């Protein structure tokens, strides 16, 4: 768990409304201030996760995302702007987040999660939020989260549907329990609205705030799915794979 850091008077003023939240209070806010969160890609999902965590007062965000901003990013990647088209995604994200919260420390990593950098990136964080589209990235992240016993919030989306779960290593099924191998039919580009990624991004941020703040009930071993076309929500119980190549002991 993160080491709590005392608040300044300015911070008490900024976070006043959430300090009123029962079970959270100043002790929870101090834990958020001492927290380091790794967000794998700050695209449609990760932009909103990062924005909400910056607003909530998480002390350090480690943002891993390669590449430059394209026009097709702009329907959902809310930390990217028209003016910044063609420039680095993480630099745009850092600039926008600093406008929102100048107290925030940001580690901007201009590359995506991979087998070669996952161990180092995960080691820097107290919690990871998976917002990546490719299963190989997600597998690297999951493997290191389990090995280093770091909580991992998993967000996903497709068209008007989305899902979210929180992996607590040693207590819950991991990503490899559900997906031992990369799904053959998954494609990197798919239909989605920004309002869908934003919805599940807010939920992912709330999961991170609860786990780091030490209150509430995270989606441990549960998969919350939603169909925003019909506004149908469903809570599913996940199974642990006793033969999981990553988390089975």
Partner 1 sequence: MTVTVSYSGQVRAAAGVSDEKFEVPDGCALDQAVARLAAARGAALKSLLLDAAGRVQPALLLFVNDEQVMTGEARMLMPGDRILLMAPISGG
The answer to whether 93 and 69 have CB atoms below 8 angstroms apart is no
Residue 209 CB, shortest distance to partner 1, in Å, is: 19
Q: Are strands 60-64 and 105-109 parallel, antiparallel or unpaired?
A: parallel
Q: Does 179 bind partner 1 (CB under 8 A)?
A: yes
Candidates 12, 158, 195, 216; binder of partner 1 (CB under 8 A) is: 158
Nearer to partner 1, 27 or 182 (CB): 182
Residue 23 CB, shortest distance to partner 1, in Å, is: 28
* Apex 192 CA angle, 189 and 198, nearest 5: 120
Cα–Cα dist 175/198, whole Å: 22
Q: Does 186 bind partner 1 (CB under 8 A)?
A: yes
Q: Scanning residues 37 to 66, which ones bind partner 1 (CB under 8 A)?
A: 41, 43-46
Q: Does 190 bind partner 1 (CB under 8 A)?
A: yes
Q: Does 116 bind partner 1 (CB under 8 A)?
A: no
Residue 217 CB, shortest distance to partner 1, in Å, is: 17
Q: Does 188 bind partner 1 (CB under 8 A)?
A: yes
Residues in binding contact with partner 1, number by CB under 8 A: 45
Beta bridge partners of 154: 130, 165
Contact residues for 103 (Cβ-Cβ < 8 A; gap 6+): 11, 57
Contact residues for 96 (Cβ-Cβ < 8 A; gap 6+): 51, 79, 81
Q: Does 163 bind partner 1 (CB under 8 A)?
A: yes
Q: CB under 8 A: which stretch of 82-90, 109-117, 142-150, 227-235 binds partner 1?
A: 227-235
The answer to whether 165 and 238 have CB atoms below 8 angstroms apart is yes
Nearer to partner 1, 8 or 232 (CB): 232
Output the CA–CA distances (angstroms, integers) from residue 42 to 128, 130, 211, in the order listed. Answer: 13, 10, 20
Q: Report the interface residues with partner 1, using CB under 8 A.
A: 41, 43-46, 130-135, 138, 155-159, 161-163, 178-186, 188-190, 192, 197, 223, 225, 227, 230, 234-239, 241
């Amino acid at each position: 768990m993160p080491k709590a850091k005392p608040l300044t008077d300015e911070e008490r003023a900024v976070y006043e409304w959430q300090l009123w939240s029962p079970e959270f209070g100043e002790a929870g806010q101090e834990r958020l201030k001492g927290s380091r969160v790794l967000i794998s890609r700050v695209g449609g999902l990760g932009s909103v996760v990062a924005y909400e965590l910056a607003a909530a007062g998480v002390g350090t965000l480690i943002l891993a995302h390669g590449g430059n901003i394209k026009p097709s990013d702009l329907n959902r990647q809310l930390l990217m702007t028209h003016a910044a088209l063609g420039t680095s995604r993480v630099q745009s994200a850092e600039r926008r987040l600093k406008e929102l919260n100048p107290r925030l420390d940001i580690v901007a990593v201009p590359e995506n999660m991979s087998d070669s950098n996952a161990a180092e990136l995960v080691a820097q964080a107290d919690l990871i939020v998976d917002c990546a589209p490719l299963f190989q990235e997600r597998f690297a992240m999951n493997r290191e989260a389990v090995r280093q016993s770091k909580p991992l919030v998993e967000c996903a989306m497709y068209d008007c549907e989305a899902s979210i779960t929180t992996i607590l290593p040693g207590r819950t099924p991991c990503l490899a329990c559900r997906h031992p191998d990369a799904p053959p039919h998954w494609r990197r580009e798919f239909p989605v609205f920004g309002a869908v990624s934003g919805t599940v991004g807010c939920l992912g941020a709330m999961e991170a705030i609860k786990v780091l703040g030490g209150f509430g009930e995270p989606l441990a071993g549960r998969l919350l799915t939603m169909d925003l076309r019909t506004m149908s929500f469903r809570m599913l119980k996940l199974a642990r794979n006793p033969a999981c190549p990553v988390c089975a002991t």
